[in-house]
């Protein structure tokens, strides 16, 4: 029973025996201790104090109430129960009142007769005033007005008391105290038996129990030491829990995750937040551990705890056996609405003993199960599963700091060390807590030492928790699979790894799903196996423990480079070694003797990268299952290479092979051959003896011109990948005899001209992709392929004679006979028409983008879901869409000649996206019909040309923000919102848009990631488009009278929202579509913009008020004074302020107050041209904007500004420095000081050299400052730098700096994106980083010059020693030109990746990229990056010459490096 109090006060003896006794009993039933005070910090003697007149209700109501309290487990004080007659003295009674959390006063007819009762009442009201105790008055067959005014029976009682004054028995002041207390108590919110409950005492008692339980909820809270990140996760879970709705169903929810991920903490938070909503509650903690430690009666003990927690019986319930416990739970809890949390469940038997069926519990109950085992939740058939996630960087820093520093952010001198620990922990709360506590109060040198230890082996406490899941695996083969994956297969395809480990005899087809279910392994969207870093380290530590920690030659698996190198160099390998991996870069190539493998008789798995072996191969291990040797150095596999009867996968990518083998090896179990990127390979191998081969992968074998004829004889071959084999012209005829091949990939085979007519005989073929080939005809026999699901023949190379791709004659007229076809891609071809496709009964996706000559799209199958025909500039006619009831997405952007789509308005109910921007000739009726007929809610929407919101919208604002109040819905149903916005975009790619809906009344934020700014098809950038979509109120949950704020937030500054509109939807069908889309979604969380009564002082906006004569907000700021004619100099009293905007005003100074503004995060002072000095700032500040403050001379000390992230001081001409800024650089992401022309050299050097932020942002300075002299790699005349990465050191990344100009006089305060492309000419990859923006035109000079510096981390770049690198800096407009570029390689330096960037598409990595002589990447931009190719005629002659020189220079550099790379590969 909880020790939480309450006060029951009642009058005479009758009440004590009747009503009061019943009430006190009811409190006891509910588990409420009746006696008083509500302070959560006080240690209470009682939960409830019952004050009543015993003669009135002792044996009746009071007794029943006390019994009900007892049954509910509520500790209620009743004087005749708690005090013996000899102890019934005033001081003890007052102690009981003072020690109770809640007081309940039962006013009966004779209550005021008792001076004891009246003294109790005075004391109760004093405790209410001084201690904040809760007081509940109950009017037992009396009127509240009689109590309040002392009339009726209370008047009679006070006549006697007044007489006592006259007789000298009572003091007049005491009687007046009684009267005042009665009046105050009667004014409180209470319950009236006669008038409200019509005399039904049982109903009143039930109500009192419910009310007291609600008041006591704070005392039931479970301890969470530092609830970091809990709020957002609770919001994510709230819909699954569905606790606060009227739902009567019993729901089971699973919380799934690896050990230490925070499942228990989240379950505690659910308990603390929601337990008061239930009649009973129970938290069964550490079930796995309880049962492990109490094997005999552990389950029985858990059943007993469940029953006692929920029933709150006076005497502890005992359960004799598990079976009896099951029966008791079924019988005793089926009518109780309960919250049950079963924490850390390990087996289905544990759940079955506690909560096997939902009908064991009352309606509306919730059962939460936390576990590491996904299969267990599936067996239980939970209603939903919440996957617990790692903490993000910000949460991790905060949690770690609480344990390491007892505050929410690291000390400055420990910041870099802290971030290294954060990186090591990878967001795992357990590791953050353990290491934080361990490092608390230790010196920096001790921190360094511990980090060194962690690099060698994980922390024992962390490993112990994580290992529980490993030790609990059902078989030793599952443990072997885990160890193999942890050492060799992280990041590899699940199906690929499964085949290899099945070949080892591990039954991985079953074993890997078990590891996934136990949260030891994860699978990403690309079907690759992933593992948390600490689980990986745990696996490797287990290998060390089993094999002798300091003797690698005895390890079962070797993965560490130093250990492997030592074993190979010393030739000390033993039979213990089953797997070995040595991954070296080209610059670190190593050579060993093949004889070193003599003793490795059990070697199953071998992974080499850039390793050479010398000597004879006949002693090589003969039991390999996996041979992965990237960069295989020989031109063929040696004749003496031993037969490998167990080999499943042969991976020799990037090899020097010219032929694979001279005589085909007998490899009876070989299933996969991957020779991709073997640029010297001229012919595929003889496969005649490989009867089990399933996959042949020869991608990017650029010299391959012949495929061996044996390929057609393989009965199990299912995948043939010949992509980018650009010397290949055809396939052997018997290839088409194959009855097993399911996938044929020919994309990028630019010389491949002919698919033989025998193609129709490949009866198993499901996927045929031949994009970017020279195919002139799709064979007519293709229609015989009854299993073909995917056919892609797009972007066919134009014929030299006709300059045409595929024409209508090249496409079989009976294509409709492909009865299984689901996806047809014929994009970027030259046909004018297509055959009828209506017979393709399974076709779901049709792609015809950029078919410029296509005039009409034929009749389509009614099952089609997606039609892509963007850029079809000749398209004039569309088929009838009235029967297209399955159509979901329609893309027709840039189809200029289209006027309408017949019948589309009849199929809108199924649609989610219509993109028709740049369709300028659509009729007004067609536009109106589709816009007004739109029903889809959630993902997608309609995009059209236009610069205005439709006139039927209720509210339209001229920017990206609007607000409204939800009107009363009398006689109608509010269904949701139709939203629209007009935007312009200067981008040629898709950008996500976030729609934020803030309920200012209910303090909630709802974010919808439901649409993208689509790719533009205009010849001119900057055209206007209108988007329209809907959000259902089933998701928004808006109610009558709610104040709502809507913001449209494109995730790129180059997209400008011009107008925003909203229309409220009443009584209309709205079709929610989010269930089918995982890419976008909804996010809910508590709002930081509003409170229950919205305090506008959190966000003051006083911009451009011309001296500030008035503000509509000031009336709501009681602590803000003297704003009639000027800004009050000290605003620090507004302590809750988060955002303060004072831009464009005329004050000379401002005082923020050293102790004020403790919550201020954003301060805007832009264009305050008279401001001379910025005062001391609160350390909470994150963003300071003071651009255009031309009179600004003095800045405050920034050395303590450890939260500052963005600083804008453009055109502060008089500034020379910012004191202490170099001490706060670790938190910074952006510094803008363009136009600050008087900065000291030391200040510039300190901030440029001290910069550590990687990613979005950087430092922006005026162009009078050159690229710093410490930059080693500088191109003085161009926007491109070339270098080779030196070997032998730990490259952390690089700092990049460029000098650029702008001469566009019409733009002000604007920014233009600059793309930084890092091309790895060795590995053929290109990273496009959109981290920099060019400031545009801040002065009246003809041309402005600027300097930008920022960083890219090697965690993103992944450069290695010996890599040949080209860096290209490219503005995306022609009026910004890069004049000079510099690069500085960073070694052994902490580089902080800036995770809080506003653009989810910050980095775009292209792989397997062939770079021709020039660097144009096909996006329509010329090399010098200043001039779009389609606008070159707008550039003056000198600039054109400069561009030509730059291109020539680039061509020579690229030619050199490409030739070097090619010869190196040979």
Active centre residues (catalytic): 120
Q: Which two tokens stand for residue 103?
A: 């007081």
Q: Are strands 913-916 and 941-945 parallel, antiparallel or unpaired?
A: parallel
Rounded Cα gap, residues 401 and 151, in angstroms: 63
The answer to whether 730 and 749 have CB atoms below 8 angstroms apart is no
> What is residue 448's DSSP assignment?
H
Rounded Cα gap, residues 430 and 966, in angstroms: 45
Rounded Cα gap, residues 1448 and 1054, in angstroms: 31
Rounded Cα gap, residues 1202 and 509, in angstroms: 51
Rounded Cα gap, residues 1283 and 159, in angstroms: 104
Characterize 418-430 residue by residue with b for buried, 16 or more Cβ atoms within 10 angstroms of its Cβ, and e for exposed. bbebbbbbbbbbb
Residues near 1118 by beta carbon (within 8 Å), at least 6 away in sequence:
none
Classify 1338 as helix, strand or coil.
coil
The answer to whether 1332 and 1350 have CB atoms below 8 angstroms apart is yes
Rounded Cα gap, residues 78 and 60, in angstroms: 14
* Beta partners for residue 592, in sequence order: 613
* Beta partners for residue 1378, in sequence order: 1300
Residues near 248 by beta carbon (within 8 Å), at least 6 away in sequence:
363, 364
Nearest to 993 by CA among 930, 1051, 1058, 1065: 1051
Q: Which two tokens stand for residue 125?
A: 């009201």
Nearest to 666 by CA among 695, 638, 692: 692
Report, in angstroms and rounded to the nearest whole number, the Rg of the chain calculated over CA atoms: 38
Euclidean distance between the first and the last CA atom of the chain, given in angstroms as a whole number: 80
Rounded Cα gap, residues 680 and 767, in angstroms: 28
Q: Give 940-1005 as a 3 state SS string.
A: CEEEEECCCCCCCCCEEECCCEEEEECCCCCCCCEEEEEEEEEEEECCCCCEEEEEEEEECCCCEE
**Distances in Å between the alpha carbon of 1128 and those of 1139, 1149, 1151, 1333?**
17, 10, 9, 37
**Distances in Å between the alpha carbon of 1311 and those of 146, 442, 1302, 1335, 1371?**
74, 46, 11, 5, 11
**Distances in Å between the alpha carbon of 667 and those of 648, 663, 695, 708?**
8, 12, 14, 17
Rounded Cα gap, residues 1311 and 367, in angstroms: 53
Rounded Cα gap, residues 1466 and 1450, in angstroms: 24
* H helix or E strand, kind and range, residue 156: helix 153-166
The answer to whether 1266 and 1299 have CB atoms below 8 angstroms apart is yes
Rounded Cα gap, residues 930 and 218, in angstroms: 53
Ramachandran region, residue 1046 (left: φ > 0; alpha: ψ -120 to 50; beta: rest): beta
Rounded Cα gap, residues 1317 and 1339, in angstroms: 29
Ramachandran region, residue 1122 (left: φ > 0; alpha: ψ -120 to 50; beta: rest): left
Characterize 1382-1418 residue by residue with b for buried, 16 or more Cβ atoms within 10 angstroms of its Cβ, and e for exposed. bbbbbeeeebbbbeebebeebbeeeeeeebeeebbbe
């Amino acid at each position: 029973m909880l020790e939480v109090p309450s006060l029951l006060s009642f009058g005479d003896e009758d009440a004590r025996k009747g009503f009061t006794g019943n009430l006190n009993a009811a409190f006891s039933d509910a588990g409420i201790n009746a006696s008083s005070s509500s302070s959560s910090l006080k240690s209470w003697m009682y939960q409830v104090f019952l004050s009543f007149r015993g003669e009135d209700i002792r044996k009746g109501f009071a007794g029943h109430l006390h019994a009900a309290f007892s049954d509910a487990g509520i500790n209620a004080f009743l004087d005749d129960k708690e005090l013996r007659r000899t102890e019934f003295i005033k001081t003890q009674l007052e102690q009981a009142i003072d020690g109770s959390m809640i007081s309940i006063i039962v006013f009966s007819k004779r209550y005021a007769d008792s001076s004891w009762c009246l003294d109790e009442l005075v004391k109760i009201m004093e405790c209410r005033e001084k201690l904040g105790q809760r007081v509940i008055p109950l009017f037992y067959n009396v009127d509240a007005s009689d109590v309040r005014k002392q009339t009726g029976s209370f008047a009679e009682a006070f006549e006697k008391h007044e007489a006592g004054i006259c007789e000298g028995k009572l003091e007049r002041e005491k009687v007046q105290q009684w009267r005042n207390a009665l009046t105050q108590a009667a004014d409180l919110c209470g319950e009236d038996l006669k008038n409200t409950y019509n005399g039904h005492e049982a109903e009143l008692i039930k109500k009192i129990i419910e009310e007291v339980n609600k008041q006591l909820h704070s005392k039931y809270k479970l301890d969470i030491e530092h609830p970091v990140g809990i709020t957002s996760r609770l919001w994510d879970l709230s819909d699954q829990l569905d606790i606060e709705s009227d739902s009567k169903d019993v729901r089971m929810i699973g919380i799934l995750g690896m050990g230490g991920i925070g499942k228990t903490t989240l379950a505690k938070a659910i308990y603390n937040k929601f337990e008061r909503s239930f009649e009973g509650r129970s938290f069964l903690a550490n079930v796995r551990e309880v049962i492990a430690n109490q094997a005999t009666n552990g389950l029985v003990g858990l059943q007993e705890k469940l029953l006692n927690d929920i029933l709150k019986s006076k005497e502890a319930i005992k359960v004799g056996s598990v079976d009896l416990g099951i029966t008791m739970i079924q019988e005793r809890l089926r009518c109780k609405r309960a919250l049950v949390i079963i924490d850390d469940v390990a087996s289905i038997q544990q759940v079955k003993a506690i909560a096997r069926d939902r009908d064991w519990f009352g309606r509306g109950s919730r059962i939460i199960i936390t576990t590491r085992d996904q299969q267990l939740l599936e067996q239980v058939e939970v209603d939903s599963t919440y996957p617990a996630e790692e903490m993000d960087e910000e949460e991790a820093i905060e949690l770690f700091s609480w344990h390491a520093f007892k505050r929410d952010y690291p000390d400055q001198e420990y910041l870099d060390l802290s971030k290294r620990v954060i990186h090591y922990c990878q967001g795992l709360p357990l590791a953050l807590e353990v290491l934080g506590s361990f490092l608390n109060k230790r010196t920096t040198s001790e921190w360094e030492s511990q980090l060194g230890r962690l690099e060698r082996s994980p922390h024992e406490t962390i490993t112990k928790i994580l290992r529980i899941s490993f030790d609990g695996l059902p078989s030793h083969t599952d443990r072997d699979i885990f160890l193999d994956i942890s050492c060799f297969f992280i990041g590899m395809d699940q199906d690929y790894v499964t085949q290899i480990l099945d070949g080892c005899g591990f039954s991985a087809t079953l074993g890997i799903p078990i590891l996934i279910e136990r949260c030891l392994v994860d699978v990403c969207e690309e079907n690759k196996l992933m593992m948390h870093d600490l689980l990986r380290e745990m696996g490797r530590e287990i290998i060390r423990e089993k094999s002798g920690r300091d003797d690698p030659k005895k390890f079962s698996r070797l993965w560490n480079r130093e250990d492997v190198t030592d074993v190979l160099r010393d030739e000390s390998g033993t039979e213990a070694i089953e797997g070995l991996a040595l991954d070296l870069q080209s610059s670190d190539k190593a050579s060993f003797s093949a004889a070193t493998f003599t003793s490795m008789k059990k070697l199953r798995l071998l992974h080499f990268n850039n390793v050479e072996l010398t000597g004879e191969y006949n002693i090589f291990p003969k039991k390999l299952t996996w041979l992965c040797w990237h960069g295989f150095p020989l031109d063929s596999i040696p004749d003496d290479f031993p037969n490998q009867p167990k080999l499943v996968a042969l991976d020799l990518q990037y090899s020097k092979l010219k032929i694979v083998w001279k005589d085909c090896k007998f490899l009876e179990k070989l299933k996969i051959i991957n020779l991709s990127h073997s640029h010297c390979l001229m012919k595929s191998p003889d496969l005649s003896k490989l009867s089990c081969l399933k996959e042949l992968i020869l991608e990017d074998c650029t010299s391959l011109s012949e495929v061996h004829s044996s390929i057609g004889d393989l009965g199990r071959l299912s995948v043939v990948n010949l992509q980018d084999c650009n010397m290949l012209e055809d396939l052997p005829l018997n290839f088409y005899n194959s009855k097993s091949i399911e996938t044929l990939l020919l994309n990028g085979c630019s010389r491949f001209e002919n698919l033989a007519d025998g193609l129709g005989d490949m009866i198993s073929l499901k996927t045929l992709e031949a994009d970017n080939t020279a195919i002139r005809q799709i064979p007519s026999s293709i229609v015989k392929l009854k299993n073909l699901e995917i056919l892609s023949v797009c972007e066919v190379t134009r014929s030299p004679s006709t300059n045409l791709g595929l024409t209508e004659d090249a496409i079989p007229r009976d294509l409709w006979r492909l009865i299984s076809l689901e996806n047809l891609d014929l994009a970027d071809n030259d046909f004018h028409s297509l055959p009828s496709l209506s017979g393709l009964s399974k076709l779901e996706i049709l792609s015809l983008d950029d078919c410029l000559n296509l005039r009409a799209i034929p009749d389509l199958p009614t099952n089609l879901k997606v039609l892509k025909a963007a850029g079809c500039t000749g398209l004039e006619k569309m088929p009838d869409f009235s029967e297209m009831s399955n159509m979901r997405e329609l893309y027709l952007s840039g189809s200029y000649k289209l006027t309408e789509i017949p019948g589309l308005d009849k199929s809108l109910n199924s649609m989610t996206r219509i993109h028709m921007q740049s369709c300028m000739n659509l009729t007004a009726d067609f536009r109106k019909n589709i816009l007004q007929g739109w029903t889809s809610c959630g993902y997608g929407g309609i995009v059209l040309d236009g610069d205005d919101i439709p006139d039927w919208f209720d509210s339209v604002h001229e920017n990206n923000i609007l607000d409204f109040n939800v009107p009363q819905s009398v006689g109608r149903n509010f269904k949701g919102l139709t939203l629209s916005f007009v935007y312009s975009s200067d981008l040629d790619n898709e950008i996500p848009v976030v729609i934020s809906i803030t309920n200012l009344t209910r303090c909630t934020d709802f974010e919808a990631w439901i649409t993208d700014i689509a790719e533009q098809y205009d010849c001119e950038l900057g055209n206007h488009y209108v988007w329209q979509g809907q959000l259902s109120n089933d998701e928004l949950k808006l109610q009558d009278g709610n104040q709502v704020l809507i913001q449209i937030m494109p995730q790129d500054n180059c997209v400008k929202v011009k107008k925003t509109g909203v229309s409220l939807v009443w009584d209309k069908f709205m079709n929610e579509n989010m269930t089918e889309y995982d890419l976008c979604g909804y996010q809910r969380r508590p709002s930081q913009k509003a409170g229950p009564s919205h305090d506008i002082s959190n966000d003051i906006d006083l911009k451009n008020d011309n001296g500030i004569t008035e503000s509509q907000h000031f009336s709501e700021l009681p602590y803000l004074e003297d704003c009639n004619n000027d800004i009050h100099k000290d605003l620090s009293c507004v302590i809750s302020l988060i955002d303060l905007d004072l831009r464009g005003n005329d004050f000379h100074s401002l005082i923020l107050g050293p102790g004020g503004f403790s919550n201020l995060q954003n301060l805007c002072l832009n264009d305050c041209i008279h401001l001379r000095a910025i005062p001391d700032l609160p350390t909470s500040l994150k963003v300071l904007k003071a651009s255009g403050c031309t009179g600004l001379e003095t800045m405050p000390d920034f050395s303590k500004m450890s939260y500052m992230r963005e600083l804008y001081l453009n055109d502060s001409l008089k500034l020379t420095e910012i004191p202490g800024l170099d001490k706060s650089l670790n938190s910074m992401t952006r510094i803008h000081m363009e136009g600050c022309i008087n900065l000291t050299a030391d200040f510039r050097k300190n901030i440029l050299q001290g910069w550590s932020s990687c990613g979005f942002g950087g430092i922006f300075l005026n162009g009078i400052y050159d690229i710093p002299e410490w930059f080693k790699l500088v191109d003085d005349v161009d926007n491109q730098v070339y270098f080779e990465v030196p070997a032998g050191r730990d490259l952390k990344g690089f700092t990049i700096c460029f000098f650029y100009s702008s001469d566009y006089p019409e733009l002000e305060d604007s920014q233009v994106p600059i793309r930084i492309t890092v091309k790895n000419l060795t590995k053929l990859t290109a990273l496009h980083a959109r981290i920099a923006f060019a400031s545009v035109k801040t002065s009246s000079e003809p041309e402005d010059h600027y300097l930008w510096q920022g960083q890219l981390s090697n965690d993103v770049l992944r450069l290695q020693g010996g890599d040949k690198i080209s860096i290209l800096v490219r503005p995306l407009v022609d009026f910004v030109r890069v004049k000079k570029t510099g690069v500085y390689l960073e070694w052994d330096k902490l580089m902080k990746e800036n995770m809080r960037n506003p653009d989810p598409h910050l980095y775009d990595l292209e792989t397997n990229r062939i770079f021709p002589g020039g660097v144009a990447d096909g996006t329509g931009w010329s090399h010098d990056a200043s001039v779009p190719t389609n606008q070159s005629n707008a550039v003056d002659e000198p600039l054109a010459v400069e561009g030509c020189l730059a291109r020539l220079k680039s061509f020579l550099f690229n030619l050199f490096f490409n030739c070097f790379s090619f010869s190196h590969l040979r």
